[in-house]
């Protein structure tokens, strides 16, 4: 594969930008990632994310939305346990206008009671929805982290948010602007566009990115846990790797894909032979530093529980025989060549890979790494996952 349009550069303030120019297109995508190591009460970072959409210099929320509408492009934001992300995709001719709007939002430093009173009801509604819907599997996985900074929802607790002062929020906001900032730019941008990115985001004052010590906690290693009862259960299998290195972080997507993506994947083939007719299974993984939690969630009946537990162990061994390369390569390697033609998807890919690995990874670097993957190498990595702490949770109504 050839990726001549790709470039990595370090900006004047220490931020890193990864870009991929595709002049033949008509759109541009831009993403800014603001990493943080939680040091404030959970929810304050998400609170700040909402505030960014309330004020940009003299502009207020209504005017910000009107400016997006005029550009035909929505600025999106979200907050995770370890970073905040803002992105947009637009026509090439309005890129500079949309970039200036986002920069004005993120460089806003002062907020008043007016903004707080508008944001708090929105977050209260999000918390209600989060509690209303059945998200217990997510709660279980969040409870697994050995570093207790990651045990709480990013939405936080309403009491903490209501008691937060403007000074608390300003402290949280300043922590976001550090040398860990990453910028991703893709599509039909020009030299003038990249110059403007350097002159705006590349000139933001950034503090050093420091990671405070882990807040360790005692953790439960009970092999099997029951959460709720009934004749129908969600069976959640989790593996907790504490020494995940770059190789495993780069390849874990291949493991998930080869074992769980599509009805011809190893999981469905194996369990199908034992009479389990799954329509789908939710497999996922998350990374926090060197901690990696790999999980899969399936629906079973209570009477199937004993057999399922036995088959989980057998599947670990059978999984080593999976045709990881044959099942994953068409999607995760061969299709890399499609990403430059979709700027929005490419920026999302850059962001997700950065979040997994902890560093920016070019398509060229990813292609070189994936080209060396073999079934034997991937089987060895799967053994690393399955030899880690395994827990099974049965979640019922």
- Between 219-228, 268-277, 381-390, the lowest mean confidence (pLDDT) is in 219-228
Q: Which tokens go with 233?
A: 């259960």
Same fold for the pair 6-203 and 224-333+373-395:
yes
Backbone angles phi, psi at 292, to 5 degrees: -135, 125
Q: How far is CA 236 from each of CA 224, 268, 337, 354, rounded to the nearest angstrom?
A: 10, 16, 35, 27
Element (H, E) at 21: strand 16-21
- Between 146-160, 183-197, 290-304, the lowest mean confidence (pLDDT) is in 146-160
pLDDT band per the 50, 70, 90 thresholds, residue 131: confident
The Cα–Cα gap between 134 and 353 comes to 29
Q: Which tokens go with 318?
A: 């059978």
Q: How far is CA 315 from each of CA 36, 63, 101, 391, rounded to the nearest angstrom?
A: 37, 55, 51, 15
Residue 312, pLDDT > 80, answer yes
The Cα–Cα gap between 353 and 369 comes to 13
- In the chain, the percentage of residues whose pLDDT exceeds 70 is 100
Pick the closest to residue 344 from 187, 222, 200, 203 (CA basis).
Answer: 187
Is this prediction's pTM over 0.85? yes
Residue ranges covered by each domain of the chain: 6-203, 224-333+373-395
Q: Which tokens go with 329?
A: 């390569």
The Cα–Cα gap between 77 and 86 comes to 4
Question: pLDDT for 343-382, tens place per residue?
Answer: 999 999 999 999 999 999 999 999 999 999 999 999 999 9
Residues 144 and 391 sit within 8 Å (Cβ to Cβ)? yes
- Between 106-120, 126-140, 192-206, 271-285, the lowest mean confidence (pLDDT) is in 126-140
Element (H, E) at 191: helix 191-200
The Cα–Cα gap between 142 and 219 comes to 12
Residues 27 and 188 sit within 8 Å (Cβ to Cβ)? yes
Bridge partners (DSSP) of residue 9 are: 17
Q: Which tokens go with 225?
A: 């846990």
Strands 55-56 and 224-227 come out as unpaired
Backbone angles phi, psi at 38, to 5 degrees: -50, 120
Element (H, E) at 89: strand 83-91
- CATH fold, domain 6-203, is Cytochrome Bc1 Complex; Chain A, domain 1 (3.30.830)
Query: How far out from the chain centre does Cα 305 lie?
Result: 32
Per CATH, the number for 224-333+373-395 is 3.30.830.10
Instruction: Specify the pLDDT at position 325.
Output: 97
Question: pLDDT for 194-230, tens place per residue?
Answer: 999 999 999 999 999 987 788 888 888 899 998 888 8
Strands 291-301 and 224-227 come out as unpaired
Average per-residue pLDDT in the chain?
94
Instruction: Specify the pLDDT at position 262.
Output: 86
């Amino acid at each position: 594969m050839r990726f001549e349009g790709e470039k990595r550069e370090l900006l004047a303030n220490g931020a890193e930008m990864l870009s991929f120019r595709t002049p033949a297109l008509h759109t541009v995508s831009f993403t800014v990632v603001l990493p943080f190591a939680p040091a404030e009460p959970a929810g304050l970072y998400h609170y700040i994310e909402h505030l960014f959409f309330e004020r940009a210099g003299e502009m207020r929320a209504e005017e910000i939305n009107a400016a997006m509408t005029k550009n035909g492009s929505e600025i999106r934001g979200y907050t995770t346990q370890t970073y905040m992300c803002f992105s947009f995709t637009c026509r090439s001719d309005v890129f500079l206008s949309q970039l200036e709007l986002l920069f004005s939002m993120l460089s806003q430093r002062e907020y008043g009671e007016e903004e707080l009173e508008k944001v708090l009801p929105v977050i209260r509604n999000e918390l209600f929805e989060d509690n209303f819907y059945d998200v217990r599997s997510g709660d279980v996985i969040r409870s697994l982290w050995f570093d207790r900074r990651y045990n709480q929802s990013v939405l936080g607790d309403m009491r903490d948010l209501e008691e937060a002062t403007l000074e608390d929020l300003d402290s949280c906001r300043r922590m976001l602007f550090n040398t860990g900032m990453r910028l991703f730019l893709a599509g039909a941008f020009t030299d003038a566009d990249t110059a403007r990115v350097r002159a705006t985001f590349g000139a933001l004052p950034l503090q050093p990115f420091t990671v405070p010590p882990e807040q360790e906690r005692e953790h439960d290693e009970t092999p099997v846990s029951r959460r709720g009862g009934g004749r129908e259960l969600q069976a959640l299998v989790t593996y907790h790797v504490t020494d995940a290195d770059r190789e495993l972080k780069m390849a874990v997507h291949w493991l998930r894909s080869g074992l769980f993506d599509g009805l011809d994947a190893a999981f469905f083939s194996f369990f199908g032979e034992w009479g389990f007719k799954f329509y789908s299974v939710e497999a996922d993984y998350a990374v926090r530093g060197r901690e990696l939690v790999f999980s899969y969630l399936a629906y079973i009946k209570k009477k199937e529980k004993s057999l399922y537990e036995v088959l989980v162990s057998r599947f670990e061994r059978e999984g080593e025989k999976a045709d990881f390369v044959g099942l994953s390569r068409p999607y995760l390697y061969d299709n890399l060549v499609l990403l430059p033609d979709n700027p929005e998807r490419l920026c999302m890919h850059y962001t997700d890979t950065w979040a997994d690995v902890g560093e920016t990874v070019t398509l060229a670097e990813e292609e070189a790494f994936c080209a060396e993957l073999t079934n034997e190498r991937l089987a060895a990595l799967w053994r690393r996952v399955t030899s880690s702490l395994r827990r099974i949770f049965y979640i019922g109504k």
